[in-house]
Chain A
Amino acid sequence: MKILVCAKRVIDYNVKVQINREGDGVVTDGVKMSINPFDEIAIEEALRIRDRGEADEVVVASIGPGSAQQQLRTALAMGADRAILIETDAAIQPLGAARIFMQLVETEQPGLVLMGKQAIDDDSNQTGQMLAALWHKPQATFVSKLELADGKATATREVDAGLETIEVDLPAVVTTDLRLNEPRFVKMPDIMKAKRKPLETTALAELDVDLGPQLAVANYSPPPQRQAGVMVESVDELVAALRDKGVI
């Protein structure tokens, strides 16, 4: 079985994001970029499944600018077998991304697609579910535990009410939550080895994909800031302050 993992290049989660001067985007020049943290978890999970002998190939795919090769090289250094970059400088929205991945699914025929539950740039939380819908296959979203056996996956999902378990027939799309695993650190020799692994780049324009209707995004603005309040010195002052505000 082959596993396809989708990994997006995003601004590192530790960076304090700034809106650009034009107000039509965020500053990316000189900003640290990383694999979307949920996708790193997806890669790690795919590698563990392969290393248990339940899959034989892990292919990592990204849609993004040429520089996303860096993140794909990191994925290869983690242990992925092969990488595919669908190159475009345009911002691809979830419906478009799902349609592009649908093409990859048709050519690669994976038995499992692993993705992050959300990309931490746009926080859409859509692409995995959309791909599953277009593919007419099951989805298991927000997964914190995954077991594969007999052509089925048993997935524990982090839902608002607690932990839900579902069983789905494979192939399926699984999206990861943070507690699924802890991704490995890449070691220097693996980075060297990864340089020789196959990374294939295809221009988005070469694929014949209709990205569908798009949302127009405008007016980037900072959220209203909360003002720092008062520091109190004792529990009595705290209780007095709470009574003052009428919240207790």
Chain B
Amino acid sequence: MAEVLLVAEHAGGKLNPSTAKSVTCAAAIGTVTVAVFTDSDDGVASAAAQLDGVSKVLLVESAQNAQALAAVLAPQVVALASNYTHVLAPSTTFGKDLLPRVAARLGVPQVSDIMTVKSERQFGRPIYAGNVLVEVTVPDDVTVVGTVRTASFSAAATGDTAAIEKTSVDADIPDHTRYVGLESHGGERPDLQSANRVVSGGRGVGSAENFALIYNLADKLGAAAGASRAAVDAGFVPNDMQVGQTGKIIAPDLYIAIGISGAIQHITGIKDAGTIVAINKDADAPIFAVADIGLAGDLFEIVPQLEQALDS
């Protein structure tokens, strides 16, 4: 039976929603142990223990684990890995940074962005910005290391209470990497990666000030706010709002794209959304080819009207 070690992502005493989604993937492979690396037992371990499908939580508490630095965490994950057949982490910037460092130390390949589990060693994953899917098989006798494309899995429910085991690891931890700080813009709105509804704006929105239109509509819908790369590059919004191949891959029930042309790198990030709505003044914009509902017209007229119509 496969024994899966899943590295939890968390910050500020909160388990990142990507962890619950990765649990669903891990549970489809085998027995799931979640590893929580932290500097203080701030409730993250017990949140992980409540996820259905988790059979044990390993709590590794040490001052060095105050920040999630790959160089610091990798040797600890490697030290734990010998007891497991699989090591997984979410395919977020956290997991993408960490796991290849673990895989290289273990001398094994990594499966990035697992979308489907075909068997304990066989997985579906996207290549070419999601335009091609392939099946990859990990050779027998090596630890399976992989990151989970969280948009492909629903979050594990809560209810169970698994045992929490405090443990320490014997690992050589380097001091060549130091955390300086985080500039975060995450405000009151829901988290982009786990929100049920997302409203995104593109270059067509025109300016940082005009993005108020997007935020207002998002707030009306209780939605997260996102953006295209062009809107981020133009300085309208911060980088953490970027949706797409090199931004966030998301799967909300409702995605509203406003003033976004629908470049393939953007579409990659929203392909799994339930309903896609596009508002664009160019009736031939490629976004309409993937939208479930399209409305051609000027966003500066449509968006305020839409906001009003939602009130009635």
A and B are interacting partners: yes
Q: List 19 A-B contacts (CB under 8 A).
A: A93-B109, A125-B100, A138-B176, A139-B70, A158-B93, A158-B240, A162-B238, A165-B180, A212-B108, A214-B139, A216-B137, A217-B135, A220-B132, A223-B133, A228-B288, A230-B293, A233-B295, A235-B306, A247-B274
What are the 3 tightest A-B residue pairs by CB atom distance, in nearest-first order?
Answer: A229-B292, A129-B100, A130-B104
User: Which of B93, B133, B310 is in CB contact (< 8 Å) with A220?
Assistant: B133
Q: Which residues of B contact A236 (CB under 8 A)?
A: 309
How far is B290's CA from A228's CA once the two chains are assembled, in angstroms? Answer: 5
Q: How many residues of B contact A (CB 8 A)?
A: 88
Q: Report yes or no: A166 in contact with B293, Cβ–Cβ below 8 A.
A: no
B180 touches A167 (CB 8 A): yes
Which one of A98, A123, A133, A160 lies within 8 Å of B93 (CB-CB)? Answer: A160
Asked whether B239 lies within 8 Å of A163 as measured between CB atoms, the reply is: yes
Asked whether B109 lies within 8 Å of A212 as measured between CB atoms, the reply is yes
Judge if B134 is at the interface, Cβ distance under 8 Å.
Answer: yes
Query: Which residues of chain B from 117 to 169 have a CB within 8 Å of any chain A CB?
Result: 126-139, 142
Residue B112, interface by CB 8 Å? yes
Residues of A within 8 A of B265 (CB): 13
A141 in the interface (beta carbon within 8 A): yes
Residue A203 at the B interface, CB < 8 A? Answer: no
**Are A161's CB and B182's CB within 8 A?**
yes
Q: How many A-B residue pairs have CB under 8 A?
A: 254
Interface residues of A (CB under 8 A from B): 11, 13, 16-17, 19, 26, 93-95, 98, 117-118, 120-134, 136-139, 141-142, 144, 154, 157-169, 172, 177-179, 212-223, 226, 228-239, 241-242, 245, 247-248
The B contact surface, by secondary structure, is mixed
Does B128 lie within 8 Å of A163, measured CB to CB?
A: no
From residue 222 to 259 of chain B, which have CB atoms closer than 8 A to chain A?
229, 232-233, 238-240, 245-246, 248, 253-254
Residues of chain B touching chain A, judged by Cβ–Cβ distance below 8 Å, are: 11, 69-71, 74, 92-94, 96-105, 107-113, 126-139, 142, 174, 176-186, 193, 197, 221, 229, 232-233, 238-240, 245-246, 248, 253-254, 264-265, 271, 274-277, 283, 288-296, 302, 305-306, 309-310
- CB neighbours (8 Å) of A235 from chain B are 295, 302, 305-306, 309
In the complex, A56→B141 CA distance in Å? 45
Residues of A within 8 A of B174 (CB): 136, 138
Q: Are B109 and A129 closer than 8 Å at their CB atoms? A: no
Q: A120-B129, A214-B139, A238-B295 are in contact. Are A129 and B93 (CB under 8 A)?
A: no
Chain B proximity of A122: nearest CB distance (Å)? 5
Q: Which residues of B have CB within 8 Å of A167?
A: 177-178, 180
**A26 touching B128, Cβ below 8 Å:** yes
Contact residues in B for A223 (Cβ distance below 8 Å): 126, 130-133, 271
Q: Are B293 and A232 in contact (CB under 8 A)?
A: yes
- In the assembled complex, the CB of A91 is this many whole angstroms from the nearest CB of chain B, namely 11
Q: With A162-B185, A248-B221 as given contacts, are A222 and B132 in contact (CB-CB < 8 Å)? A: yes
* Nearest CB of chain A from residue B241's CB, rounded to whole Å: 10
A120 to B239, CA, bound (A): 20
A-B contacts besides A123-B128, A163-B184, A248-B254, 13 pairs, CB < 8 Å? A16-B264, A129-B70, A141-B97, A154-B180, A160-B92, A164-B182, A168-B176, A179-B233, A216-B136, A218-B136, A220-B133, A222-B131, A223-B271
* B137 and A218 within 8 A (CB): yes
Partner of B96 from the list A93, A125, A219, A234 (CB cut-off 8 Å) is: A125
Chain B residues positioned under 8 Å from A162 (CB to CB): 182-186, 238-240
Q: Which of A168, A226, A230, A237 has the most CB atoms of chain B within a 10 A radius of its CB?
A: A226
Give CA–CA (A139, B73) in the complex, Å.
13
Cβ–Cβ contact A133 & B94, under 8 A: no
In angstroms, how far is the closest chain A Cβ from the Cβ of B103?
7
Contact assessment for A158 and B239 in the assembled complex, using a CB-CB cutoff below 8 Å: yes
Contact A229 B293 (CB under 8 A): yes
Partner of B248, one of A93, A160, A230, A248: A160
Taking A125-B96, A158-B239, A165-B181 as contacts, is the C-beta distance between A178 and B229 under 8 angstroms? yes
- Which residues of chain B are near A93, meaning CB under 8 Å? 109
In the assembled complex, which residues on chain A have CB atoms less than 8 Å from the CB atom of B181? 164-165
